[in-house]
Amino acid sequence: MSSNKILLTSSDGESFEIDEAVARKFLIIVHMMEDNCAGEAIPLENVTGDILSKIIEYAKMHVNEPSEEDEDEEAKKNLDSWDAKFMEKLDLETIFKIILAANYLNFEGLLGFASQTVADYIKDKTPEEVREIFNIENDFTPEEEEEIRKENAWTFNE
Amino acid sequence: MTTMSNLPAEVLEEILSRTPVTSLRTMRSTCKKWNNLSKKKIIPEAARKQQGLMLIKKKICSLSFSLHEIHKDDYVVPCINQVDIPRNIEVEKIFHCDGILLCVIEDNCSLLVWNPYLGQTRRIEVSSDADMNDRYALGYDNNNSSHKILRIKKDFKNSDGLGYEIYRFASNSWSLLDEEVMKPEWDVWSVQRSSVSLKGNTYFLLQGNDYDDQEDEEEEDDEEYEDDDDVLPKDNFLLCFDYTTERFGPRLLLPFNPHVEETVALSCIGEERLVMLYQSFKTYKGIEIWVTDKIDPKAVSWSKFLKVDITPLTGFPVDFYADSFVIDEEKKVAAVFDIHCSYQKAHIIGEDGYLKCVNMGRASDVGNGQPLVFSSYVPSLVKVPVKQPKGKRKGRSSETKSNKNKKGRKIKIIGG
């Protein structure tokens, strides 16, 4: 594994020095590195420092992503547990920002995990509760809402 | 302030696609944007589960069956639930293809074409000589990129007593098929479950009705059976109706040779393969399950999935007659239902033989009747073809319903 350091700069001027292996998790950076001269800092215009630091923290834990064939159950469980704690500490606002940033950076692993976390918020909630959590306006008329309910009455119940 | 509504569409899709199927209704009820987005992709969970559909007392019921956890002690008992069909109509028969259901309703006089995942329906009237013995099948014409419905009915003017009609969605009309072209040699009164639509075409399981020949060959069959390679399944085969050419294909051989009284059941796994169950009790008592490697209207090749001894010694009840079944390829197990037990129990079999018996649940709104037709259903995003407007009205907004036209042909378009 290369011990090259990559310098990243957030939109609000914070600098982060990380191992190349970690930086390669962000596919957008992989492309930039190919175009960029070595040694220059890579500017990330769409990510603020606080979010970037969280993302880097996650990336560092996942730099040695266990492959599917890996039999190390213990290691997987530990990683899952770390992941859960990582998300627990964050509020929804921050998670959204992380999702947007992970999308911009093209960091698939975190994008998937954070999306799942948000999706889990929706489980077992009523539409009203969901709208409240996500600050969404109800643009259905009462008739339309009833229609949707009926149309989806088939959803295979557990 | 970052809120859900500010997220770019692909990110929102990423999140919404991870909600479980049970939250699908909630998700769609939240706002119009989510409703529309949810119809662009099948939620992976819905695609992954094995769904079975059946009719109980004229209501469509679904059985969500996952054999993945079958070895565990906390295995969740599968439960039969009623599927709420639009306007609560009574359904006489169901067929399906590509995730679209074709329901025969209203005393066999009408058809309802329905994609439950998208919530789209369309109604089609059958011509005046509709009869409860009519058989239907749904398929897809690749050349014209449109769906078609095949109707097989009694027609004593024809030599084999059967008539064939096709409904083409492209032209919104029925037309008779040329009798000369047909003649698939079969008994149209065979049981409901004997057809499966796969990849846009329908495969019919035909069980021989040459009873005279069968008697003469009773003796010979036993001997022939020992030498599997030489056995030609004369009386049992598959026949495919190709909707693109509007023809039946050649006989497709089965990998076994059932005697007339032995049980054979046809189903499909996923969207690309047929699976068949054969319960033999003449030469040996066992169940074999075979899956297709390749299948198209003109040829088929099979491989054996499971073969299990089912004498009472192995744990099977005496007088067990397999009716329907579900398989799990990864775990190499199958759940088999007994024709006499109305789906109260499922017997689980695997490579090691008989594994266990599982009691099935039934939701309280499901009737007590005997389920008919268990068939494997995979949800899809295939749109129900809409009736092409004959003149004035072009597009339609997603939530409006159109009126009945004067001839009483109801045209209902729901969803977009």
Q: Is the pLDDT of residue B89 over 80?
A: yes
Contact B196, B202 (CB under 8 A): yes
Residue of B349, B371, B342, B347 whose CA lies nearest to B358: B347
Rounded to 10 degrees, the C-alpha dihedral B259/B263/B264/B270 comes to -160
* pLDDT of res. B293: 92
The 10s digit of each residue's pLDDT in A122-150 is 888 888 988 887 788 899 999 998 888 87
Locus of tokens 């049980």 = B263
Strand partners, B207: B236
Interface probe, candidates B10, B16, B18, chain A, greatest A C-beta count within 10 A: B18
Do B303 and B42 touch, CB atoms closer than 8 A? no
d(C-alpha B364, C-alpha B366), whole Å = 6
A96/B4 touch (CB, cutoff 8 Å), yes or no: yes
Give the CATH number of the domain where residue A112 resides.
3.30.710.10
Contact check, Cβ <8 Å, A99/B62 = no
Please give the residue that has the higher pLDDT: either A155 or B226.
A155
Q: Would you place residue B60 in the very low, low, confident or very high pLDDT band (cuts 50, 70, 90)?
A: confident
Residue A150 in domain: no
Q: How far separated are the first and last CA of chain A, in Å rounded?
A: 47
Q: Residue B354, CB half-sphere, CA atoms under 13 Å: how many?
A: 17
Interface test with A, best of B16, B25, B39, B115 (most A CBs within 10 A): B25
Binding-site residues on chain A for chain B (CB distance < 8 A): 93, 96-97, 99-100, 103, 111-112, 115-116, 118-119, 122-127, 130-131, 134-140, 144-145, 147-158
Q: Are B199 and B272 spatial neighbours (Cβ–Cβ below 8 Å)?
A: yes
- The more confident residue out of B65 and A116 is A116
Contact (CB<8Å) A115/B11: yes
In this model, does residue B267 exceed pLDDT 50?
yes
Q: Please compute the mean of the pLDDT values over residues B300-307 and round it to a whole number.
A: 93
- Looking at residue A64, what is its pLDDT? 77
Using CA atoms, how far residue B283 sits from A148, B221, B353, in Å, is 55, 10, 18
Whether B305 shows a pLDDT value over 90: the answer reads yes
Condensed to tens digits (0 to 9), the pLDDT of residues B199-224 reads: 889 998 876 554 434 434 444 444 44
| CA distance to B38, B67, B205, B280, B309, per residue, from B287 (Å) | 41, 18, 18, 6, 7
Measured between beta carbons, the chain A residues lying within 8 angstroms of B30 are 127, 130-131, 134, 136, 138
How confident is the model at residue B4, as a pLDDT?
A: 60
- Calculate mean pLDDT across residues B268-287: 86
Q: A62-115, pLDDT tens digit by residue?
A: 887 666 556 677 888 888 899 999 998 898 888 988 999 999 999 989 999 999
Look up the pTM and report it: 0.71
Residue showing tokens 């089912």: B310
Give which of B3, B49, B5, B7 is closest to B24, Cα–Cα.
B49
Question: Which residues, including other chains, have CB under 8 Å from residue A109's CB and lie 6 or more apart?
Answer: A25, A62, A65
| Best CA proximity match to B82, nearest among B362, B411, B375 | B362
Q: Hey, how many other C-beta atoms are within 10 angstroms of the C-beta on A46?
A: 14
Query: Given CB atoms, is B16 within the 8 Å cutoff of chain A?
Result: yes
pLDDT for B156 equals 73
Answer whether residue A10 is part of any domain. yes
Domain boundary assignment for chain B: 8-47, 48-211+233-375
Number of domains in chain A: 1
C-alpha distances in Å from residue B325, one per residue of A119, B234, B318, B347, B373: 33, 25, 18, 9, 11
- Across A35-39, B96-100, B215-219, B312-316, the highest mean pLDDT is recorded for B96-100
Give dist(CA B204, CA B136) in Å, integer. 11
CA distance A95 to chain B (A): 10
* Closest A-chain CA to B88: A150
Q: What is the pLDDT of residues B141-170, one digit of tens each?
A: 888 888 899 998 877 777 667 788 899 988
What is B48-211+233-375's CATH topology? Neuraminidase (2.120.10)
* Average pLDDT of the segment spanning A20-27: 87
The token duo for A105 is 């950076």
CA atoms of B302 and B253, how far apart (whole Å) = 9
Could you give the CA distance from residue A46 to residue A34 in angstroms, rounded to a whole number? 20
**Where in the sequence is the domain holding A39, given as residue range(s)?**
5-123
**What is the Cα–Cα distance from B172 to A37, expressed in whole angstroms?**
64
Q: In whole angstroms, give the CA distance from residue A6 to residue B172.
A: 64
The distance of Cα B291 from the centroid of its chain, to the nearest Å, equals 16
**Terminal C-alpha separation, chain B:** 32
How would residue B301 be classed by pLDDT, with cut points 50, 70 and 90?
very high
Question: pLDDT value at position B388?
Answer: 64
The whole-angstrom separation of Cα B77 and Cα B246 is 43
In SS3 terms, chain A reads as: CCCCEEEEECCCCCEEEEEHHHHCCCHHHHHHHHHCCCCCCEECCCCCHHHHHHHHHHHHHCCCCCCCCCCCHHHHHHHHHHHHHHHHCCCHHHHHHHHHHHHHHCCHHHHHHHHHHHHHHHCCCCHHHHHHHHCCCCCCCHHHHHHHHHHCCCCCCC
Residues B3, A134: C-beta atoms closer than 8 Å: yes
The per-residue pLDDT of chain B, averaged, comes to 75
A14 vs A54: CA distance, rounded Å = 13
Q: Residue B268 corresponds to which amino acid?
A: C
Q: Find the residue in B nearest to A153 (Cα).
A: B84
Q: What is the mean pLDDT of residues B334-349?
A: 81
Q: How confident is the model at residue A40 (pLDDT cuts 50, 70, 90)?
A: confident
* A19 inside domain: yes
Q: Extract the runs of DSSP E, i.e. beta strands, from B310-415.
A: 322-328, 333-338, 345-350, 353-359, 361-362, 372-377
**Is residue A157, in this structure, part of any structural domain at all?**
no
A132 is a domain residue: no
- Within-domain flag for A143: no
Per-residue pLDDT of B216-260, as tens digits, reads 444 444 444 444 443 333 467 888 999 999 988 888 888 988 876
